[in-house]
Structure 1
Amino acid sequence: MLQGKILRVARPTDRLDQVVRFYTEGLGLHILYRFENHDGFDGVMVGMPGSAYHFEFTHHQGHSVGRAPTQDHLIIFYLPEQLKWQQTLERMNAAGYKLVKSYNPYWDNKGVTFEDPDGYRVVLQNDIWNS
């Protein structure tokens, strides 16, 4: 069973500083750990302290990974409280990030979509997730 474990989503990037800014200044996540030149890799882990997930963004020096392969590569945050959802939108706008139309129109019904510097999309869904 995976119950009680921590989920790490790891992704390479060519724009490490810009991606970290998107997820911290825009979305409000925190830098949890940073490393430099670990066997040629730099990386930053972002998330909320004490939460069961975090994101790791890495850059392999001298290598290029390019942009997201499609507009439907998504991370979805469910923010059911209207005030917190609105505050997150305002923080994204204040950091200079603009809304994009979702590739799948379903996400535009109760949410909004932003695109990170690598072309990956983040949906802020003003709803609860029902399993």
Structure 2
Amino acid sequence: MQSPVLRVARPTNDLRKLADFYTRGLGFEVLARFENHEGFDGIVLGRRECPWHIEFTHQHGVMVERAPTTEHLLVLYLPEHHEWLAAVERIQALGVLSCAPENPYWDRLGKTFEDPDGYRIVLQNAAWGQKSMRSE
């Protein structure tokens, strides 16, 4: 039986800026692109070995607002400290500064950044799992 694949889709006004942020800053790969598909352009980003990806779309003639709150988060659990540190350094090399999270929990083992649309990305230096969620 094949495992489900998770796709998170979100609109944007600037596919190029988001692609740059997520590929150069977070090390994601471009998995697919499309142009003028029934009025939408888009890019699918992720990691080929992972059962998830993020799709960003731009609908022709439509402008979208920035993130509605600072609690709209994408959390990446990076348990290996050297991988976490490399991710933090890649984002900072783009000139992106960390910001204080709304929920102080994310500051304990992580750093929070904003993508070009104002959505927040938490790089969490921990492994995710039910045990870790109970003890947190």
Off by >2 Å, runs of 4+ in structure 1:
none
Q: CA deviation at 1:126?
A: 0.5
- SS of the residue corresponding to residue 121 of structure 2 reads strand
1:125 is aligned to 124
The structure with the largest helix share of the pair is: 2
**Which residue of 1 is the match for residue 71 of structure 2?**
72
Letter of the structure 1 residue corresponding to residue 94 of structure 2 = A
Report how far residue 40 of structure 1 moved: 1.1
Distance 2:95 2:43 in 1: 21
Query: When the two structures are superposed, what TM-score results if normalisation uses the length of structure 2?
Result: 0.92
Root-mean-square deviation (CA, aligned residues, Å) is 1.3
Give CA-to-partner distance per residue, 1:62-90, whole Å, 9 cap, x none: 10111110000001001111100011111
Unaligned 5+ segments in structure 2 are 131-136
Q: Offset at 1:96? A: 1.8
Cα-to-partner distance string for 1:7-47 (whole Å, 9 max, x where unaligned)? 00000011211111111110000000000111110000000
- Paired position in structure 2 for 1:94: 93
Unaligned runs of 5+ in 1: none
Question: TM-score of the superposition, structure 1-length normalised?
Answer: 0.95
- CA distance in 2 between partners of 1:38 and 1:21 (Å): 22
Structure 2: distance between partners of 1:110 and 1:44: 30
> How far off its partner does 1:129 sit?
1.3
